[in-house]
Amino acid sequence: MEIKKNDELIVDIVDISSEGEGIGKHQGFILFVNNTVVGDKVKVKVMKTKKSYGYARMMELLEASPFRVEARCPIAEKCGGCTLQHLVYRKQLEFKQNKVKNCLLRIGGFTENIPMEPIVGMEEPFYYRNKAQFPVGKDKDGGVVIGFYAGRTHSIIDTSHCYIQAEINDIIIEQIRRFLEVYKISIYEEETHTGLVRHILTRVGFVTGELMVCLVINGTKLPHQEEFIEFLTRIPHMTSISLNINQEKTNVILGNKVETIWGQPHITDYIGEIKYQISPLSFYQVNPIQTKKLYEIALNYADLHGEEVVWDLYCGIGTISLFLAEKAKQVYGVEIIPEAIEDARRNAEINGIQNAEFFVGAAEDILPRKYKEENIYADVIVVDPPRKGCDESLLDTIVQMSPKKVVYVSCDPATLARDLKYLCDRGYQIKKVQAVDQFGHSVHTETVVKLCRNNA
């Protein structure tokens, strides 16, 4: 029987894809079905077919898996943020552990005896995010809509509460919504590139309680700016209010120019004993509780004794660098974003750390050049790249510099596996792999890997 679009079938969900979709089979034909878990029996409608697989939508849950739970959030099935909220948390952790291992096996070509530690989960996988980005739009009647994009679309689902963001955001969004409605501020329309307000960025200091609001606008001025400030400063602990200018016709949320209109240009927060200043454009891990665990693992894997020279590549605002500097002789951080390096230098200063130096530029440019021109060396190299992983020229320089240890912090298991294969084919060996759940109810995970040079 040939399976085609609009067919209605009954399938058993037997596996889960790397993107969190349930995988069912019907007469050998594979179907990917959102919002299902292993053990579900479901009636589905086929939405799209390829030669040997297709995509289907669940029409009815016939038998629920023992691993299925009711999502706390009423829009979890529609919103693109929490694709696993219907899966019991211990199984989410198992899924992420297996995702990392499978990438190392299939992409990295490593054998089954990978030295993987049990994944580090959260004690409470809700209300953990210190940063939120809310798109702003209009409904069909012209009313203000603030919420999140539906999965794989630019359609905004209006919401007043999110179960993974800091709860104070409810009050912030309520105040901004009222301001936009009272003063009839124009809302950005993506199709026509007209209107003013595009996004709302919030940051929350989990330790300090300090609050930041940054309004992203398609213009240079906000009408009724003083009233906007008045609405927000009614909220206790408001610390920083700014405008981000983004007049580009783009899907990128933030523009490069930020104008502080009230308070400080940053908020402060702590990870462990280290104090950080965080500006609207700063890269700062979104889950501070798990980040502390992540950095402690990275520091443990670096195994510093006070005499080592460490290079921290893709250092952001110096978050890992300053942890390392407490135990190293000297730390050098590299980051391509100039504002992040300014933050990193300021963070070193406010913590009284004098053995950390920072360079602006792409890691794949800075490290090879300094190695060739200045003959620099490293006892330990730490990398924390974006999802695309490390550039091959950078990996090649690491191999040439031949540090005793490399600590790789990754947010994408596939590019991690690819880069580990490159390093392990050229003289390094994996000693430990530790997954850390930074993003509960999503398919994403962080991983820390310790590599040692074979003759170290």
Annotated active-site positions, please? 411
- Of 356, 349, 347, the C-alpha closest to 327 is 356
Query: Which are the contacts of 337, defined by CB distance < 8 A and separation ≥ 6?
Result: 281, 283, 316, 360
Query: Which are the contacts of 148, defined by CB distance < 8 A and separation ≥ 6?
Result: 79, 80, 81, 134, 135, 156, 157, 159, 162
The pairing of beta strand 211-217 with beta strand 238-245: parallel
Q: What spatial distance separates the first Cα and last Cα of the chain, rounded to whole Å?
A: 60
Does residue 37 contact residue 16 with C-beta atoms inside 8 Å? yes
Residue type, position 329, single letter: K
Q: Give DSSP secondary structure letters for 17-51.
A: -TTS-EEEEETTEEEEETT--TT-EEEEEEEEE-S
Query: Which are the contacts of 235, defined by CB distance < 8 A and separation ≥ 6?
Result: 168, 171, 172, 175, 211
- Of 48, 52, 60, the C-alpha closest to 4 is 48
- Of 208, 270, 198, the C-alpha closest to 239 is 208
CB atoms near residue 359 (< 10 Å): 18
Three-class secondary structure of residue 281 per DSSP: coil
